[in-house]
Amino acid sequence: MNKDNSASEVQEKKENPILSIIFNIVIPVLILNKLAKIVANHFPDVNLSPVSILLIALAFPTIYFIYDYITRHKANFISIIGFVSILLTGVIGVFEFPSKWIAYKEASVPFIIGLAILISLKTSYPLVRKLLYNKDLIDVDKVDAILDEKNSKEQFDKILVNSTYMLAGSFLVSTILNFTLAKLLIHSPSGTEAFNQELAKMTALSYPVIALPSTLVMMLALWYLIHQAKKITGLTMEEMLASQLRNKMEEKGALDATKEPEVKENNQDTKVDSNEESTNE
């Protein structure tokens, strides 16, 4: 109990996914779509250019990035690239570069991340250990101890390599979908109201069209990693999960649901034993 409590106290503060979606998607989309009309209807004397509206919209993801860094004291490689992507969108809009650059910019972000994941295989700390095989999801110390005990480290490293390829594949999917979506939607010259409208539509569609398929591929990589680790270590899914994650699942009853069949079987066995005893008497 004391170990679990101390672990939860030391546990890093998590990003708020709802806040992230609101600041990175919802508010920018509403500003790009609605702000020009609101200003025209209620403040006719205010001349708000499309570039100004774009900068206001991009200010919210920027503010969120700074806020998240201050509250969590952490800015990882992926979040930094995402922040640079926001800045590049602003640069394209403000300096009115060709709007077709948006497609290449959108595709470059997941491509760079996927490439970095592959390159990290040649380093002492592959990114797959940060994204999948980490202490937030898996009891890494327990798994590593069993791997050392069974001399299976080399075999598990091969599994991590395969997981890395699958993880990089998820970002390849994102690269293709990002480029395709931008090409289909962005046609108007940058710095115009029509460009802002198209950018808003692309941002709104980015989650269901891009994030969900990429997440599915990433979840497949995680499933493969855990499934193969179970074979090597002999641990169950419950035993392999990180303590804080296991506690959350127990609170929600997710793990208890998996134990119910065993309880029923034990009850049935007890009934059979009692019946046999009564017969013998």
Dihedrals phi, psi of 163, to nearest 5 degrees: -65, -35
Higher-confidence residue of 136 and 77: namely 136
What is the count of structural domains for the chain? 1
Residue 137 lies in a domain: yes
18-32, 85-99, 146-160, 238-252: the lowest-pLDDT one: 238-252
- Tell me whether residue 257 is in a domain: no
pLDDT higher than threshold 90 for residue 86? no
Position 106 in a domain: yes
Q: Quick one: average pLDDT of 234-260?
A: 73
Q: What is the span of the domain harbouring residue 137?
A: 2-241
Q: What is the pLDDT of residue 238?
A: 85
Q: Is residue 115 assigned to a domain? A: yes
273, part of any domain: no
Domain membership of residue 101 (yes or no) is yes
